[in-house]
Amino acid sequence: MLRRKMVDALTSQKGSSSTGEALRVRNVSHSFGDTRALNDVSLDVAPGSFTILLGLNGAGKSTLFSLITRLYDNTSGEIHILGNDVRRRPSAALQRLGVVFQSRTLDSDLTLLQNLTYHAALHGFGRRESKRRAHEALKTVGLDERAKEKVRNLSGGQARRVEIARSMLHDPGLLLLDEPTVGLDIDSRQSVISIVRRLVNEHGIGVLWATHLIDEIDKTDKIIVMHKGRVLYSGSVPGLLEAGQANDPASAFRNLTETTRAEAA
């Protein structure tokens, strides 16, 4: 048993260094009946990078997240989280993954602290360590002073911040956020996005931030444009402007996706 664990640990380290990426997706396709939701998708998220997955409704963002988190099984291609293949080594891969889903998933009748300690316990931490981690995570998102309040008293933006704190309890190396600012006012959106940018800069986490809101792009971000299940562009913001032959990201995005629409017609 111990030997098996050592072999696992060694192959895990080997896997990490062989790809060097927080997330590596290669040639992944997925269909729902006749609908091809993902078509030969390949992309990377580097450690310490804020990567925006930009796509309109129906682009395939949520389907990709469902494959990375193993809600769906990927029957084609490969997905690696910090060097661990999610099919061959699911527990090692998912151990390093934090997720903030599109829909709200906190228990509003519990306090912030109870929500987080409960979740930390699910990760296998003891009572005292769960509490310590919960307070630390709440501090990171600026809500530790409200630890003993019920979640139902929070605004939408504050609840999102608690979900981000929850996703960080087990020190993930990769964080996925699926349209995390939808429905928030402009100040709350700003607060949520700057907290996550800080996590990238201070903790070196690789972040994949799915959105259709182009104004969430910062000039230092890495951008992946998805459209109708395909990756149309992957790279820097200046590279996006060049690929889309435009002076701003919104026009570049429109030019890229409209070209694809015209080609498909």
Ligand X SMILES: Nc1ncnc2c1ncn2[C@@H]1O[C@H](COP(=O)(O)OP(=O)(O)OP(=O)(O)O)[C@@H](O)[C@H]1O
Yes or no: say if 238 and 220 are a contact pair by the CB < 8 Å rule.
Answer: no
CB-neighbour burial class of residue 132 (10 A; exposed 0-12, middle 13-18, buried 19+): middle
DSSP 111: B
Query: Which of the stretches 32-40, 81-89, 127-135, 250-258 binds ligand X when contact is defined by CB under 6 A?
Result: 32-40
Determine which residue in the list 17, 32, 148, 186 makes contact with ligand X, applying CB under 6 A.
Answer: 32
Binding ligand X by CB under 6 A: which of 26, 46, 48, 58? 58
206 lies in the binding site for ligand X (CB under 6 A) = no
Choose the binding region for ligand X from 54-62, 78-86, 126-134, 144-152 (rule: CB under 6 A). 54-62
Stretch of 52-60, 78-86, 230-238, 245-253 lying at the interface with ligand X (CB under 6 A): 52-60
Using N-to-C axis directions, what is the helix angle for 156-167 and 186-203, rounded to 10°?
20
Tokens standing for residue 120:
């930390």
Q: Give me the least distance between CB of 168 and ligand X, in Å please.
A: 23
Count of residues of this chain found to bind ligand X when the rule CB under 6 A is applied: 11
Only segment of 15-23, 61-69, 127-135, 240-248 that touches ligand X (CB under 6 A)? 61-69
Residue of the chain from 62, 69, 188, 191 that contacts ligand X (CB under 6 A): 62
182 binds ligand X (CB under 6 A): no
Among 28, 37, 143, 223, interactor with ligand X by CB under 6 A: 37
Which of 217, 228, 233, 178 lies closest to 43, judged by CA?
233
Is 59 among the residues that bind ligand X (CB under 6 A)?
yes
Shortest distance in whole angstroms from residue 60 CB to ligand X: 4
Are 51 and 206 in contact by the 8 Å Cβ rule? The answer is: yes
- In 20-155, which residue ranges form alpha helices assigned H by DSSP? 61-68, 90-95, 112-122, 127-140
Taking the C-alpha atoms of residue 200 and residue 140, their distance in angstroms, rounded to an integer, is 12
Q: Which residues contact 145 (CB under 8 A, 6 or more apart)?
A: none
Q: With CB under 6 A as the contact rule, which of the stretches 50-58, 104-112, 147-155, 167-175 interacts with ligand X?
A: 50-58
Q: Which of 13, 18, 27, 35 binds ligand X (CB under 6 A)?
A: 35
Instruction: Please name the residues in contact with 163: beta carbons below 8 A apart, sequence gap of 6 or more.
Output: 100, 104, 105, 106, 180
Q: Which residues bind ligand X (CB under 6 A)?
A: 32, 35, 37, 55, 57-63
